[in-house]
């Protein structure tokens, strides 16, 4: 990760005590970045591990795997670099297996030892200014909590080069990643029913990168999705969520929702709380976002004593 990237991370963590609310924003863009400004770049996997840990991961997966789970190939978040002149964001990812996250995700380890699977959270904003959230069903990841809809992992697929086909040893694996925008569109149509023409990928904007620092310890890319339809035209699809409700987008309503969810971190995803904070930044500005984080954190900290 570049010095500029590390500096941005440090500034955000010092100014905004988000960890009290169960999330940390690694990157924030209140205006939002369009698809042409975001680039996914593969790099090597830097997760710190050893043979003992990897053996434990395989054993835990074998003994605890659920019926609907499979050990898929996933993208691990390796960092980012934002160019303030071109306003281009590079997101670095590596290849990781789902079993690593399944074993390590409930352990409060340093980020360097976590699987850090990379996902997307799509914040849909309807014509009547509402945002859908869903309650996760049984036998799903993060079951029994409120989560943004849609959400899901960024898919990666192997690219087989000529050198590999010829059997050259030592040739690095190449994994092609979805963009945050194509992943959001795919997950949207997997989890929700709504008029297809109401979704336009070119109108999506990346609002930030959020680390779930309270549980699961993974990273998501928050993408706002303006949809040209009414909330009454949106229904759940599939069985990942058992019910859905809508959040109002007024500043006071978003603040109150963030406070409610932060009082008991076990009832919702840290990513959802981060999504709400980033939506405040997008709709009401960076200054309001900073004030909200500070005031909500202060209120939650005071209430805990």
Residue 30, classified by CB atoms within 10 Å of its CB into exposed (0-12), middle (13-18) or buried (19+), is: middle
How far the first Cα of the chain sits from its last, in Å, is 38
**pLDDT tens digit sequence for 137-155:** 766 667 789 999 999 999 9
**pLDDT tens digit sequence for 169-183:** 455 578 999 999 999
CA distance 270 to 257: 13
pLDDT of residue 1: 39
DSSP label at 65?
-
pLDDT of residue 6: 35
CA distance 194 to 227: 9
pLDDT of residue 302: 74
CA distance 126 to 229: 6
**Total number of domains in the chain:** 1
Write out the residue range of the structural domain in which residue 80 sits: 3-303
| Intervals of the chain under pLDDT 70 | 1-16, 138-141, 160-172, 303-305
Q: What is the pairing mode between strands 38-42 and 88-97?
A: parallel
CATH of the domain at 275: 3.90.79.10
Instruction: Give the SS3 label for residue 140.
Output: coil
pLDDT of residue 304: 56
CA distance 248 to 130: 5
pLDDT of residue 108: 85
Residue 22, classified by CB atoms within 10 Å of its CB into exposed (0-12), middle (13-18) or buried (19+), is: buried
């Amino acid at each position: 990760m570049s010095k500029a990237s590390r500096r941005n991370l440090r500034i955000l963590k010092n100014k905004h005590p988000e960890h009290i609310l169960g999330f940390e924003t690694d990157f924030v863009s209140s205006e939002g970045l369009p698809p042409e400004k975001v680039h996914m770049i593969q790099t090597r996997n830097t997760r710190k591990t050893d043979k003992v840990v990897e053996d434990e991961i395989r054993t835990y997966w074998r003994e605890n795997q659920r019926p609907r789970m499979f050990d898929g190939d996933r993208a691990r978040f390796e960092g980012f670099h934002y160019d303030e002149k071109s306003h281009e964001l590079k997101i670095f990812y590596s290849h990781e297996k789902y079993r690593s996250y399944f074993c390590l995700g409930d352990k409060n380890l340093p980020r360097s030892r976590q699987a850090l699977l990379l996902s997307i959270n799509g914040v849909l904003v309807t014509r009547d200014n509402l945002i859908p959230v869903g309650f996760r069903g049984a036998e799903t990841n993060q079951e029994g909590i409120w989560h943004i809809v849609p959400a899901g992992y960024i898919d990666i697929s192997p690219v087989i080069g000529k050198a590999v086909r010829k059997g050259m040893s030592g040739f690095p694996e190449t994994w092609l990643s979805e963009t945050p925008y194509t992943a959001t569109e795919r997950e949207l149509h997997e989890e929700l029913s709504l008029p297809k023409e109401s979704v336009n990928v070119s109108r999506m904007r990346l609002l930030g990168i959020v680390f779930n620092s309270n549980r699961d310890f993974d990273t998501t890319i928050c993408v706002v999705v303006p949809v040209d339809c009414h909330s009454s035209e949106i229904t759940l699809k599939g069985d990942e969520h058992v019910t859905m409700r809508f959040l109002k987008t007024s500043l006071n309503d978003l603040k109150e929702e963030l406070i409610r969810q932060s009082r008991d971190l076990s009832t919702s995803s840290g990513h959802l709380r981060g999504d709400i904070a980033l939506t405040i930044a997008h709709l009401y500005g960076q200054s309001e976002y900073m004030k909200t984080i500070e005031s909500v954190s202060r209120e939650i900290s005071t209430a805990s004593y």
